[in-house]
Structure 1
Amino acid sequence: MAELLYRIGRFSTRRHWTVIGAWLAVLVLTGVTYASFAGALSSSISLPDTPTTRVSGQLERDFEGTGGGNGTIVVESTDGSALTDDQQQDALDLFDRIAAVDGVDEVTDPFATQQQVDDGAARVADGREQLNKGLAKLTEAQGQIDGGRTALEEQRRQARANGTLADVRAQLDDAEQQLDDGQAEVDRQRAKVDEELPQLEQGETLTQLSSGYRTVSEDGSAAVANVVFAVAINEVSVETKTAIEDLLADADIDGVALYPSQDIAQTVPSILGPGEVAGVVIAAIVLFLMLGTVIGASLPLVTALLGVGVASLASLSFSGLVEFVSVTPVLGVMLGLAVGIDYSLFIINRHRRQLKQGIALSESIGLANGTSGNAVVFAGVTVIVALLALNVTGVPFLGLMGTVGAVAVLVAILMAITLTPAVLSLVGPRILKRRERSEIATGTTYDDHAITARDEPMSNARAWTVLGLGIVALLVVAAPATQMRLGLPDGSTQPPDSAAYQAYEVQAEKFGDGSNGPLLVVADLPGPVAEDEVTAEQATIGAQLGRAWNVDAVVPIGASKDRSALAFQVVPDGSPTDESTAELVQNLRSSTLTTTSGGEATLGVAGNASAGIDISDQLSSVLPVYLVLVVGLSMLILVLVFRSILVPLTATLGFVLSLLAAFGGITAIFQLGFLSDLFGVHAPGPVLSFLPIIATGILFGLAMDYQLFLVSGMREAHAHGAPARVAVQHGLRAGRSVVTAAAIIMISVFAGFIFSHDATIKPIGFGLAFGVLLDAFVVRMLLIPAAMHLLGESAWWLPKWLDRILPDVDVEGARLERSHAAPGAGDRAGG
C-alpha cells in the first residue's frame, strides 16, 4: 500500500493540473446530479415494524378516518382575552384554506368540537337531573300508593269490626284496583328508568373520562385545531408542510397569533451557520500556528471544503430516491470537514519535515503520501468500517447516516492522497517558512529519527500515577451516564423564538403538558360486539384506562369496522418526553382489561410519544451488538497495523473510558441541565435516542486515528532500534504537536455545531467535540503512553503463529523510506 501511495503522490506531483482539474470536474458533475435528482429532506424519524407502526397500521386498516398522521395548529389571542366571534371566523376560514392543501384530509373546527363536548356534558347532566326528578316523583307516587294501601286496610278492619264490610266491599275493591293500577304504572316507569340508567351512567362515565380533554382553553383565549393528513406523519411531504406554514404566515388575523406544532413546523437545519463558520475559522488559526504560512494553513481547508462539497452533493443526489433525515447531510459535513482537514494536515506536516531533512520536493511529496498517506488510509478505513457497520443495526435512517458519513470520509481520504500532493507540487518550497527555506539552502537539515535526551522515558511511579488519576477522572465524568434516558426532541427543545416552541408552550400552559403528546390506544376485544353494545364497551374499557396512573383524559375515537376493537385517545399528565409518559406506555402495553362480558382485551399504543419510545428502545437494544461488531472489526485492523495484541487492546479499553465519559458529559448537560445555559440548552430532557450509537461509531473511528498516528510513531522508533520505553517517549514527542493540532481542529469543527438552533444537531456536535477532547488529550496522550511504558517490550508481543500469517502492511512506510532513502538530485526543496 505504501508503495502504491508513493506512486500516486509522484503522479499527482507531475500531473498536478490534471488531478486538480479532475476533482473540479467531479465537483461540477455532482452539482449537476444534485440539481437534477435531489429530493426534499425529511424532518421525521421513524422505524418500520415497531409496536407503534403496527398499531398505526391497524388504525389505518380497520378504523375509518384514523390512519393518517396528525399535526396541530394553535390559535391564541395576543392580549390574553377570549377569542372574539370575528377572530374565530377568520381562523375557520384559514382552516378551510389549509384543508384544501394537497395532502391534507381535514382540519377540525376546535370551536365546534368544544361546543359538542360541552353540549354532550350538558345533555348528560340534564339527563341525570331529569332522571333524578323522575325518581323523586316515582318515590312520591310509591309513597302515596303505600299510604293508600295502609288506609284501605284500616277501612277494611273498621268495616269488619262494625259489621258493615259487605256494604262497602265494592267501594273498597274499586279503591284497591286503583291502587293496583297506580302500582303497575309506577313499576312501568321504574322499569323504564332502570332501562335508561345504564346508558346514562355510561354517558356520565365517558363524560367524566374526557373532561380533561379540551380544544378551546377554559378562558377562551386559545384553541387547538387538529390537522389530519392523508398519510402517516413521517410520510407527509415537505411541500405540504411548507404550504401550511406559508398560509399561517400570511394569515394576518388581527389580535391572533398562529403557531404550527413541531409535526408541521419542523425545518431542515442549516448546514453551515455562524457557529460552524467560527469552528472553521478556529481551525484556520490552528493551522497557521502549526504550519507557519498562510498557504500551508489554506491548503487543508481548501481540500476539506472541496471534499465536503463533492461528498454532500453526491450523497444528496440520491435524496430523490431514498428518504434522507435532515440531520444526515449535516453529519456528513461535520465528518468531512474534520477528517478532511486532519488528513491533509498529516501529509503536509510529514512533507514539511522531510523537506527540512533535505529530501527533494517531488520525492518528499511521494514519501509523505506513502508514509503519512498510508496511515491516513488505514485510519480512514477504521472510521469507514465503524460508520458502515451502522447498516447492520437494522435501522434504515441510521444506516443511511452511516453510509453518508462513510462517503464523506472516503472522499476526504481520496482528496488527501491525490489533491493534497497535487497542490503541494504547485506550492513548492513555499509550504515552509522563509527562515526554514533559508536554513535548507545553507545545508542545515533535521533528523526526526535521532534519539535525544528529550526521549528519556518517564518513571514507573509517574506512569502509574498518570494511569490511575486518568482512569478515576474519566469514571467520575462518566458517572451521570448511569442516569441517561433516551428520547426524541419535542417542541420544548426547539429555539424559543420558533413557532414549534410557541405552539408547545401555549398547549402546555392552556391545555396541560400531555396535550402535546396524546396517545392512541387500541383495545382488541375477545370478539366482535353488537352495535348497540359499543357504548357500554367503551365505558367499561375507558373507565379502566382512566384509572391508569398518569392519565389526564380518555376520549373514545370509535370502533373498528367489524367492532372487534375500540380506539381511544389517551392524554397523559406528563409531556411526551417525561419518564412518567414512557412508564404509562409500557404499563398500557403490558395490561389486559376486562370487557363487559368478562373477557380480556389487550392494548396497543401509538402516537408520537409512543413512536419516540419505540425508537429509543430499539436503538438501545442494538447498541451492544453494534459496539461488539465495530470493536471486533477494528481490533482486527489494529492488530494488522501494529502487529501486536496488547496495543489494540489498550487502545480499545481507553476508547471505552472516553466514550463513557463523553456520555456522562452529554447526560449532565442535555438531560440533567448542568451548565445548560452556557450551551444554550433551555429545556433539558432525554438524550437524543440515536446519539449514543452515532457517537460510538464516529468516536471509535476518530480515536483509532489518533492512536494510529501516535503509536505508529512509537512503533517506527522501535523499528529503528530504540528501546520500547524510549520509543514510547520519542513517538509521543514526535507526534504530539500534529495530533494536538489535529484534535483542536476537529474539536473546533464539531463544537461549531453546538450552537446550531436545531435540537438534533446541538447534542451531536457537543458529544463529538467532548469525546474527541477526552480521547485525544486524556486517553491518547496520557493514558496510552503510560500504559505502554508499563508494558515495555511486551506491548509489541505477537504470537509467532499469528506473526507468520499476518501480512506486513508497513503502515509507517519504513520499507518505503529505506528503498527511497537518497534525496533526489536537482529537485531540492530549496532550489
Structure 2
Amino acid sequence: MASVLYAWGRWAVRRRGRVIGLWLLLLATIGALGTTLAGPTSTEFTVPGIESQQAQELLERKLPESVDGTARLVMAAPAGRSLDTPAARAAVGESLHRAAGIPGVVHVADPFESHSVSPDLRIAFADVQFDRPAHDVPQSAKGALTDATAPLREAGLQAEFGGSVMEPAFEVGGPAEVIGVLVAFAVLAVALGSLVAAGLPLLTALVGVGIGVLGAQLLANVVEMTGTATVLALMIGLAVGIDYALFIIARHREQLAEPGSEIEESAARATATAGSAVVFAGATVIIALAALAVTGIPFLTVMGLAAAATVLLAVLVAVTLVPALLGLLGERLRPRPKAKAAAKPARSWSAAWARAVTRKPLLVLLVGVVGLLALALPARDLRLGLPSNASQPAASTQHKSYDLLSEGFGPGFNATLVAVVDATGIPADRRESALTELHATLSADPGVAAVGRPIATADGSTVAVPVVPRTGPDDRATSDLVDRLRAHKATVTASGGTLYIAGATAAAIDVSGKLADALPLFVGLIVVLALALLTVAFRSVLVPLKAVLGFLLSVAAALGVTVWVFQDGHLNGLLDIPSAAPVTSFLPVLLIGVLFGLAMDYEVFLVSRMREHHQHTGDAAGAVAHGVARSGRVVTAAALIMVAVFGGFVFNHDPIIKSIGFALAVGVFIDAFVVRMTLVPAAMALLGARAWRLPRWLDRITPDVDLEGAGLPAAEVRPAAKVDERV
C-alpha cells in the first residue's frame, strides 16, 4: 500500500494545479446542484414490518385522511381566567376561521364542539387537518398558521403548536458548532506550530464535507433521507477530514525538519506512511458505518451510507488534495530550526507520559479498567426511545404545547395510542359487538385514562380507536401498557379480525425494540471486523485482542455517561436538556459504529509507530516509548479536534443531534486519552515481545499491507549548502 501511495503522492505534487482544480470544480458542481435541487428530508423514523408501521400502512390505504399532516393548536388563558368568556371565544373563533382559510387545510376542529377543553376551561386544543402528509406541507402554510393565532395573542391568550406538521426542522451551523471549529483551529495551530499549516486541514476538510453533505441533499430527491443523516455526515466528515489531513501534514513537517529534505520527496513519503494509516483507518470507519445496513432498518442504512460516503471523500481528499497543497505551499510549511530541537522525543511531554504509564503497567491497567467499568455502570439501566416534544428546548412552542396538554388533560394525553382494527374478516353483523367488547377491554386496563370515539371507514372494515394512557410517552409504564394492550390480539383474532396498537408512542417503542434486537449482531460483526483488520495491519494476535477489549470498554463507558446525563437527568441545566428521557433508540448503534472506526484510527496511528520501531530495532520496550513519543502529540491533537467538533453539536437545539454529539464527544475523549494513550502503552509494556508474534500458519495467509513504508526507496536528501568561511 505504501509504495502505491508514495507514487500517488509524488504525482499529486507534480500535478498540483490539476488536482486542486479538479477538486474545486467538483465542489462547485455538487454545491450548485445540491443547493438548487436539494431534496426533502424527513423527521420520521419508520421501520418496515413493525406492528405500528403495519397499522400505519393499513390506515393510509383505508383511512388516508387519518394519517395526513396535522397541526395541533393549543390555547391557554392566563392563570385565574377562562377560555369560556365572550372575548376569549371570539378570539378563538377568529383564529380558527383564519386557519381554515389557509391553502391545504381541509378541517379545523372547534374545541368547544369537539369537547377538547380542559375541565377548568383554561386550556383547549384544536386540530388543523391538512390534505397531504406532514413533510409535504409547505413552509408558507406553517407561517400562515402561526400568523392566524394573532387574535389569540392580542386577547392575552397563549397559543402554542404541536402535531406532525409543526415538528422543528434540523438546524446546523449555529454559534456552538462554529465555536467547535474555532477550537479545532486553535488545537491545530498549537500542534503544528504554524497558522498556515493549521488552516490547511480545515480547508481540505470543508472541501470534502461540502461535497459530501451537498451531494447527500441532492440524493434526497431519490432516496428517503432523514435530517439526522445529513447532520451526521457533516459531524463525522468534518471531524475525520480535519484529523486525516493533520496526520499527513504533521508527518510532512516532521520530515521537513530534517536538514536537506526535499518538498516533493517529503510530501510523497508522508502520503505513503501517514497516508497508509489514513487509508486503513478510513476504511475501518467506512466499513463500520456501512455495516449499519445489517440492522435491516432503512433509515439507519441510509444514515450510515451517507456518513460513510463523506468519510470516503475525506480519505480521497487526504491522499490527493493534501499532497497537492503541500507542494503548492512548499517552503512555507518547513518548520523553523528551533522546532526541530523542541520536537525531540526525549524532551517531549509524550515521551514523559510513555515512561509514566509503562513504569507500573499492571497498576495503570487495573485503575483504568476499574474506572471505565464504574463509568459504564449506569448503562445497565439503558432505555431506548425516540424524543417527544418534552425533549425539545424549553423555549420552543413544541415544548410549551406539550406542557400545556399535560397540565390540562393529563400526562398520558401526549402519548395517545391508536388501536387499529382490520375488521375485514369479521362478519358485518358481528362487528359492532366485537368493537364494543374491545372498547370495554381497553377501558378496563388500569393504565388507560380514556378511550376515544372510534373512527371507521364507510363500510366499517377498518376502525381506529384513540386510547389515552395515564402516563407520558417516555414513562416505562406506557411501554408496559402497549405490551398489555397487544396481548388482547387473540380476542379480536378469534372474531376474524386483526388488532394493531399504533400511534407515535407505539412506533417509538417498536423502533427501539427492533434496534435492541439488532444490536448483538452488529456488535459481533464489529468485533470480528476489528480482529481481522488489525491482524492484517499489525501481523499480531494479541494487539487486535487488546484493541477490541479497549474499544468495548470505551463504548460501555460512553453509554454509561450518556445514560447518566440524558436518561437519569444529571447536568440538565449545564447542557440545556429540558427533561430526562430514554436514550435515542439508534444512538447505541451509531456510537458503536462511529467509535469503532475512530478508535481504530488512533490504534493504527499509535501502534504503527511502535511496530515500525520494533521492526528496525527488535526492542519491544523501546518501541512502546518511541510510538507514544512520536505519535502522542498528533493523536492528542486529533482527539481534541474530534471532541471539539462533536462537542459543538451538544448545544444544538435538536435533542437527537444533542445526544449523538455528546455521546461521540465523550466516547472519543475516553477512547483516545484513557484507552489509547494510557491503557494501550501499559498493555503493550506488559506483553513485551509477545505482542508482535503471529503463528506461522497465520503469517503465511495474512497479506502484508506495509503501513509503515518499509518497502519505500531510501529518502532523497539534497546536499547541504556550503558555507563560505571567509564571511
Match status 1:484 vs 2:382: yes
Partner of 1:175: none
Identify if the C-alpha distance between structure 1 residues 445 and 620 changes in structure 2 by more than 3 Å, giving closer, same or farther: closer
1:778-789, aligned counterparts within 5 Å?
Answer: 778-789=674-685
Which residue identity does 1:66 align to in structure 2?
A: S
Secondary structure of the 1:113 match is coil
Alignment equivalent of 2:187, drawn from 280, 286, 291:
286
1:328-347, aligned counterparts within 5 Å?
Answer: 328-347=229-248
Secondary structure of the 2:420 match is strand
Partner of 1:224: 125
Which residue identity does 1:727 align to in structure 2?
A: A
Instruction: Compare 774-783 and 75-84 and name the one that shifted more.
Output: 75-84
Query: Whole-Å Cα distance in 2 between the matches of residues 41 and 348 of structure 1?
Result: 37
Instruction: Compare 2-11 and 348-357 and name the one that shifted more.
Output: 2-11
Alignment equivalent of 1:627, drawn from 523, 539, 564:
523
TM-score using structure 2 length: 0.92
For these two proteins, the number of residue pairs brought into alignment is: 715
Query: Whole-Å Cα distance in 1 between the matches of residues 325 and 476 of structure 2?
Result: 55
Contact 1:74 1:222 in 2 (8 A): yes
Partner of 1:357: 258
Which residue identity does 2:292 align to in structure 1?
A: L
Partner of 1:261: 162
Q: How much has 1:504 moved relative to structure 2?
A: 0.6
Identify if the C-alpha distance between structure 1 residues 685 and 809 changes in structure 2 by more than 3 Å, giving closer, same or farther: same
Contact 2:345 2:630 in 1 (8 A): no
Q: How much has 1:12 moved relative to structure 2?
A: 2.1
Contact 2:2 2:706 in 1 (8 A): yes
Match status 1:311 vs 2:205: no
Partner of 1:522: 420
Secondary structure of the 1:604 match is strand
- 1:723-765 deviations in Å (ceiling 9; x for gaps): 2222112111211111011101110110011011111110101
Contact 1:470 1:783 in 2 (8 A): yes
Partner of 1:751: 647
Contact 2:565 2:571 in 1 (8 A): yes
Q: How much has 1:3 moved relative to structure 2?
A: 1.7
1:587-666, aligned counterparts within 5 Å?
Answer: 587-592=484-489, 603-666=499-562
Match status 1:720 vs 2:721: no
1:754-773, aligned counterparts within 5 Å?
Answer: 754-773=650-669
Identity of aligned residues (%): 42
Partner of 2:291: 389
Contact 1:300 1:340 in 2 (8 A): yes
Secondary structure of the 1:265 match is coil
Identify if the C-alpha distance between structure 1 residues 241 and 93 changes in structure 2 by more than 3 Å, giving closer, same or farther: farther
Match status 1:3 vs 2:3: yes
Query: Whole-Å Cα distance in 2 between the matches of residues 653 and 712 of structure 1?
Result: 18
Q: How much has 1:500 moved relative to structure 2?
A: 0.6
Which residue identity does 1:404 align to in structure 2?
A: A
Contact 1:619 1:689 in 2 (8 A): yes
Match status 1:412 vs 2:314: yes
Partner of 1:567: 464
- 1:156-208 deviations in Å (ceiling 9; x for gaps): xxxxxxxxxxxxxxxxxxxxxxxxxxxxxxxxxxxxxxxxxxxxxxxxxxxxx
Match status 1:429 vs 2:325: no
Which residue identity does 1:12 align to in structure 2?
A: A
Q: How much has 1:323 moved relative to structure 2?
A: 2.1
Query: Whole-Å Cα distance in 2 between the matches of residues 390 and 252 of structure 1?
Result: 47
Secondary structure of the 1:110 match is coil
Contact 1:37 1:319 in 2 (8 A): no
Contact 1:528 1:562 in 2 (8 A): no
TM-score using structure 1 length: 0.81
- 1:558-596 deviations in Å (ceiling 9; x for gaps): 45555466532110011112111111111111225768x
Contact 1:34 1:316 in 2 (8 A): yes
Contact 1:627 1:696 in 2 (8 A): yes
Match status 1:543 vs 2:437: no
Q: How much has 1:63 moved relative to structure 2?
A: 5.2
Q: How much has 1:530 moved relative to structure 2?
A: 5.2
Identify if the C-alpha distance between structure 1 residues 404 and 460 changes in structure 2 by more than 3 Å, giving closer, same or farther: closer
Query: Whole-Å Cα distance in 2 between the matches of residues 63 and 335 of structure 1?
Result: 41
Contact 2:134 2:165 in 1 (8 A): no
Instruction: Compare 647-656 and 782-791 and name the one that shifted more.
Output: 782-791
Instruction: Compare 578-587 and 563-572 and name the one that shifted more.
Output: 563-572
Partner of 1:237: 135
Q: How much has 1:527 moved relative to structure 2?
A: 5.7
Query: Whole-Å Cα distance in 2 between the matches of residues 445 and 502 of structure 1?
Result: 56
- 1:234-267 deviations in Å (ceiling 9; x for gaps): x422544651343223531122332220522222
Query: Whole-Å Cα distance in 1 between the matches of residues 206 and 462 of structure 2?
Result: 56
Partner of 1:169: none
Alignment equivalent of 1:820, drawn from 705, 710, 714:
714
Which residue identity does 2:541 align to in structure 1?
A: I
Query: Whole-Å Cα distance in 2 between the matches of residues 459 and 659 of structure 1?
Result: 22
Q: How much has 1:806 moved relative to structure 2?
A: 2.0
Q: How much has 1:308 moved relative to structure 2?
A: 1.4
Match status 1:704 vs 2:600: yes
Identify if the C-alpha distance between structure 1 residues 562 and 593 changes in structure 2 by more than 3 Å, giving closer, same or farther: farther
Contact 2:643 2:666 in 1 (8 A): yes
Secondary structure of the 2:129 match is strand
Which residue identity does 1:544 align to in structure 2?
A: T
Larger radius of gyration: 1
Instruction: Compare 332-341 and 585-594 and name the one that shifted more.
Output: 585-594
Contact 1:273 1:756 in 2 (8 A): yes
- 1:261-298 deviations in Å (ceiling 9; x for gaps): 05222222222111111111111111111111111111
Which residue identity does 2:31 align to in structure 1?
A: G
Contact 1:710 1:731 in 2 (8 A): yes
Gaps spanning 5+ residues in structure 2: where?
723-727
Which residue identity does 2:716 align to in structure 1?
A: A
Q: How much has 1:526 moved relative to structure 2?
A: 10
Query: Whole-Å Cα distance in 2 between the matches of residues 460 and 283 of structure 1?
Result: 30
- 1:441-497 deviations in Å (ceiling 9; x for gaps): xxx99799xxx9979977987111111111111110000001110111111111111
Query: Whole-Å Cα distance in 1 between the matches of residues 596 and 494 of structure 2?
Result: 56
Contact 1:591 1:602 in 2 (8 A): no
Query: Whole-Å Cα distance in 2 between the matches of residues 104 and 660 of structure 1?
Result: 48
Q: How much has 1:603 moved relative to structure 2?
A: 3.4
Secondary structure of the 1:720 match is helix
Q: How much has 1:102 moved relative to structure 2?
A: 5.4
Alignment equivalent of 1:577, drawn from 435, 457, 474:
474
Secondary structure of the 2:418 match is strand
1:101-500, aligned counterparts within 5 Å?
Answer: 101=102, 104-114=105-115, 215-230=116-131, 235-240=133-138, 243-253=141-151, 254-255=154-155, 256-358=157-259, 359-436=261-338, 462-500=360-398
Query: Whole-Å Cα distance in 2 between the matches of residues 446 and 527 of structure 1?
Result: 81
Secondary structure of the 1:260 match is strand
Contact 1:241 1:265 in 2 (8 A): no
Query: Whole-Å Cα distance in 2 between the matches of residues 765 and 80 of structure 1?
Result: 42
Secondary structure of the 1:677 match is helix
Secondary structure of the 2:242 match is helix
Which residue identity does 2:111 align to in structure 1?
A: P
Q: How much has 1:44 moved relative to structure 2?
A: 2.2
Q: How much has 1:361 moved relative to structure 2?
A: 1.4
Q: How much has 1:539 moved relative to structure 2?
A: 3.9
Query: Whole-Å Cα distance in 1 between the matches of residues 277 and 187 of structure 2?
Result: 22
Identify if the C-alpha distance between structure 1 residues 460 and 61 changes in structure 2 by more than 3 Å, giving closer, same or farther: closer
Partner of 2:693: 797
Identify if the C-alpha distance between structure 1 residues 344 and 547 changes in structure 2 by more than 3 Å, giving closer, same or farther: same
Identify if the C-alpha distance between structure 1 residues 824 and 508 changes in structure 2 by more than 3 Å, giving closer, same or farther: same
Query: Whole-Å Cα distance in 2 between the matches of residues 822 and 598 of structure 1?
Result: 84
Partner of 1:46: 46
Contact 1:385 1:634 in 2 (8 A): no
Query: Whole-Å Cα distance in 2 between the matches of residues 598 and 766 of structure 1?
Result: 49
Gaps spanning 5+ residues in structure 1: where?
115-214
Contact 1:593 1:600 in 2 (8 A): no
